[in-house]
């Protein structure tokens, strides 16, 4: 996995293979009223990055971030079966430590089998996510992430975060950048740098976006697992397809894209 923050997922990354994920735009008004929290609208990232293409994931199910983060932030007051399950779960865990936030959840994605709800602003270091699975007796809670940065998907693989190597100065003529790769999957000390796949580049909002992926580790047997001990590696060199020019170089593997400075602050908890 990846992303900053504590991940407490009980679901597995293969859940998105459950099929047919659709981010549902919710426009119907909710019944009742709650003075504790007003109904919020779209996250500011939706309008700022309206040209975004590609699906993202918070660890399990692919979804369109422009649709998901335009949904209203009152899913806990809704009446669909998954929304009712969310409301009941929040009520059940309100006395936990730390307590579950009872308000301002938005539906990110729902399939025939899975649903995910998010809370918080993308500009504040990621969103909380609660995940649910439809079972024989109804929807059941199956996982939680305290801070998800939605990651761009390519061939069912999530992009890895990266930061510019410290001390590097970017110039209009820059064609080679040195980057430190963010935390990846548990890999038993296997090199991430050597598993770096072909980068993707695109221009949006006057910025140059670079997205990186690493080759996944081979699958192990049913009773085997890779250790999660990381390896300190030197920065890896990535060649840009053209000179950087006057554009900012951003990590395009997360939504919304972010600068190297922002990524370092998030990873260090600043």
Residue 174 shares a structural domain with residue 223: yes
Residue 201 shares a structural domain with residue 115: no
Give CA 6 to chain center in angstroms: 13
Of 135, 153, 171, the residue that ends a domain is 153
**pTM exceeding the 0.85 threshold for the entire prediction:** no
Of 125, 153, 181, the residue that ends a domain is 153
Residue 137 shares a structural domain with residue 176: no
Of 105, 136, 153, the residue that ends a domain is 153
**Six-digit token string for 170:** 């970017």
Residue 87 shares a structural domain with residue 117: yes
Residue 137 shares a structural domain with residue 169: no
Residue 235 shares a structural domain with residue 203: yes
Residue 201 shares a structural domain with residue 88: no
Lowest pLDDT segment from 175-179, 191-195, 213-217, 265-269 = 265-269
Find tokens 């999660």 and name the residue: 228
Residue 143 shares a structural domain with residue 28: yes
Residue 66 shares a structural domain with residue 197: no
The whole domain housing 180 covers 159-267
Across 152-171, b (16+ Cβ under 10 Å) vs e yields bbbeebbbbbbbbeeeeeee
Render pLDDT for 6-36 as a digit per residue (tens, 0 to 9). Answer: 333 433 333 433 445 545 544 444 544 443 3
Q: How many structural domains compose the chain?
A: 2
């Amino acid at each position: 996995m990846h992303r900053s923050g504590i991940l407490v997922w009980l679901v597995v990354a293969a859940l998105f293979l459950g099929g047919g994920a659709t981010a549902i735009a919710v426009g119907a008004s909710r019944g009742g009223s709650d003075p504790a929290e007003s109904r919020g609208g779209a996250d500011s990232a939706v309008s700022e990055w309206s040209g975004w293409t590609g699906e993202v994931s918070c660890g399990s199910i692919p979804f369109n971030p422009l649709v998901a983060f335009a949904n209203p932030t009152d899913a806990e007051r809704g009446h669909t079966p998954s929304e009712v399950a969310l409301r009941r779960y929040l009520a059940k865990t309100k006395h936990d430590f730390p307590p579950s936030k009872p308000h301002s959840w938005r539906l990110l994605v729902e399939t025939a089998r899975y649903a995910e709800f998010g809370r918080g602003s993308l500009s504040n270091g990621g969103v909380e996510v609660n995940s649910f699975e439809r079972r024989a007796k109804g929807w059941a809670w199956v996982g939680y992430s305290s801070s998800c940065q939605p990651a761009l998907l390519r061939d069912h693989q999530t992009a890895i975060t990266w930061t510019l190597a410290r001390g590097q100065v970017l110039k209009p003529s820059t064609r080679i950048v040195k980057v430190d790769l963010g935390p990846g999957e548990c890999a038993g000390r296997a090199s991430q740098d050597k598993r770096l796949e072909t980068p993707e580049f695109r221009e949006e909002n006057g910025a140059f976006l670079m997205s990186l992926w690493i080759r996944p580790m081979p699958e192990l047997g049913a009773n085997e697992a890779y250790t999660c001990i990381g390896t300190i590696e030197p920065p890896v060199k990535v060649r840009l397809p053209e000179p950087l020019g006057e554009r900012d170089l951003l990590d395009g593997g997360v939504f919304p894209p972010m600068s190297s400075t922002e990524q370092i602050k998030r990873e260090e908890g600043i």
